[in-house]
A and B are shown apart, each in its own frame.
Chain A
Amino acid sequence: MKDLAEQPRDLDGNPVTPGLPMAMLAEVTHRCPLACPYCSNPVELVRAQSEISADDWGRVFRQAADLGVLQVHISGGEPGARRDLAQIVAHARDAGLYVNLITSGIGITRERLEELDRAGVDHVQLSLQGIRPDMADRISGHPGSWDKKMGFADWVTEIGFPLTINAVVHRQNMERLPDMLDLAERLGARRIEVATVQFHGWADLNRAALMPTREQAAFARQVVNDARVRLRGRMVIDFVPADHHAVYPKACMGGWGSTGLNVGPDGTVLPCHAAQSITWMQFENAQQRSLSDIWHLSDSFNAFRGTSWMPEPCASCERKTVDFGGCRCQAMALAGDARATDPVCSKSPLRAQVVARAEEDAAATTADFIYRRMKKGG
């Protein structure tokens, strides 16, 4: 018998039916040697002293596996900033999860990478900020990052891990996308993820320096389409286009609270990594409540489940189960209302305004960044 009070409901009180998550992003630390101005971490970063322990992660991983999670993405910050990373990885494998390690490659020595191999890392994803030292080091705010990354990539292939290159593209590096694809191929990557900067958090602070032009967005699309044909069977290309220039919004997270969850360095459990930008929303912590309860019963996960919460034009849109109204965090950032239709959608009343602002940012002449760094002290 189900307690009526425990019927999951969306933010309007409509009953919803939670599914099961497939993937979990584990941001094991926010510490990072890089300072990329589009970092997906929240602007308010979690400090080292608030990080949960490797054993805590072990408990979270076991709960995640019991809940249906098949893959964990161990990320940060730079996960290598945790000295106990191998222990965290071993806990994830012991729980039966497939382990993707998402790293900048900075701060992990060859010996540590071998240790991570023994601990059970299944797949390594290496971030790429640009091509060649001048560009990569300036964008990452870390002198020497390029050389270290290239050395790291060699170790990855020598040890034999499958490699994915994560290339983040924006106005200041989009012209070099063909070189990034060539590099990934040369490094023997099985996959490359080409992700246009998403304008949340840090990236939103740097809109004027990062927003691609419409021509660049079209160029990137063409380069990817051509490369997919040329590299068929040799390298997979996943592409996140510039949605400010698209007709429909991205189906963020494949629907809120539907297939994935994110656990932060202090154990905070989020429906997506940017969810804390929805400032009125309360989030729960895996240190206080089981992951299963948080997934099935918490207000945050249930808020935007299903389609009943949707306003117009989403409510009567035939795409409402395709893109789920788009990104809630983008609605918050651009419309000031997390439940609004994603303002990048061509059906949104705010669309014209969003495009005008994007064009204005894209035409800006500034190249200067506000780098992602922890505030001093505290």
Chain B
Amino acid sequence: MTPLIEAHDVPYLPRGVRLQGDRVRGIRVLQAPERAMQLDQIGEAILSELDGRRSMEAIVAGLAVRYKAPADQIAGDVRDFLSGLIERRMVFVKDTA
């Protein structure tokens, strides 16, 4: 499948999608229309970086520094993760053209 996001695109959580703690299960979830998705630590780390200003590229660079991991590897994980959420309309991409 073609990825739905490029390095220079700016991903963001649109209205109606938010990160939330699930106090009963002790997990973090992404709340969206008709969906509550359990997040693992990686997913949460990625989504916490979405500020509607920085591109995916910048987000990847930040994560590479923070987690002391090669940017190439992180880039693939971030792109796949965000593509999956874009496909489900839980992450939007800002029109930067």
Q: Give the interface of A toward B (CB within 8 A).
A: 20, 22-23, 65-68, 70-71, 73, 96, 98, 100, 122-123, 125, 160-162, 164, 190-191, 232-233, 235-236, 238
Within 8 A of A (CB), among B20-73: 20, 22-25, 29, 31, 33-34, 36
Is there an interface contact between A70 and B16, defined as CB atoms closer than 8 Å? Answer: no
- Determine the chain B residues whose CB is within 8 A of the CB of A98 once the complex forms: 18, 20, 31, 36
In whole Å, how far is B84's beta carbon from the nearest beta carbon of chain A? Answer: 11
In whole Å, how far is B79's beta carbon from the nearest beta carbon of chain A? Answer: 13
Is there a chain A Cβ closer than 8 Å to B6's Cβ? no
Is there a chain A Cβ closer than 8 Å to B4's Cβ? yes
Is there an interface contact between A71 and B31, defined as CB atoms closer than 8 Å? Answer: yes
Is there an interface contact between B4 and A123, defined as CB atoms closer than 8 Å? Answer: no
- Complex CA distance for A190 and B88, rounded to whole angstroms: 9
Is there an interface contact between A22 and B24, defined as CB atoms closer than 8 Å? Answer: no
- Determine the chain A residues whose CB is within 8 A of the CB of B87 once the complex forms: 232-233, 236
In whole Å, how far is A119's beta carbon from the nearest beta carbon of chain B? Answer: 15
- Determine the chain B residues whose CB is within 8 A of the CB of A66 once the complex forms: 24
In whole Å, how far is B72's beta carbon from the nearest beta carbon of chain A? Answer: 24
- Complex CA distance for A233 and B89, rounded to whole angstroms: 6
Most B Cβ at <10 Å: residue of A20, A65, A122? A122
- If over half of B's interface residues share one DSSP class (helix, strand or loop), that class is named, otherwise mixed; here it is loop
- Complex CA distance for A228 and B89, rounded to whole angstroms: 13
Is there an interface contact between B31 and A100, defined as CB atoms closer than 8 Å? Answer: no
- Complex CA distance for A181 and B15, rounded to whole angstroms: 22
- Determine the chain A residues whose CB is within 8 A of the CB of B89 once the complex forms: 190-191, 233, 235-236
- Determine the chain A residues whose CB is within 8 A of the CB of B36 once the complex forms: 22-23, 70-71, 98
- Determine the chain B residues whose CB is within 8 A of the CB of A122 once the complex forms: 16, 31, 33
Across the two chains, which residue of chain B brings its CB closest to A235? B89
Given pairs A65-B24, A233-B86, 18 additional interface contacts (CB within 8 A):
A66-B24, A67-B24, A68-B24, A71-B34, A71-B36, A98-B20, A100-B34, A122-B33, A123-B34, A125-B33, A161-B16, A162-B14, A162-B16, A190-B89, A191-B34, A191-B89, A235-B89, A236-B88
Is there an interface contact between A190 and B33, defined as CB atoms closer than 8 Å? Answer: yes
In whole Å, how far is A40's beta carbon from the nearest beta carbon of chain B? Answer: 16
Is there an interface contact between A70 and B31, defined as CB atoms closer than 8 Å? Answer: yes
Across the two chains, which residue of chain B brings its CB closest to A228? B87
In whole Å, how far is A262's beta carbon from the nearest beta carbon of chain B? Answer: 15
- Complex CA distance for A190 and B17, rounded to whole angstroms: 12
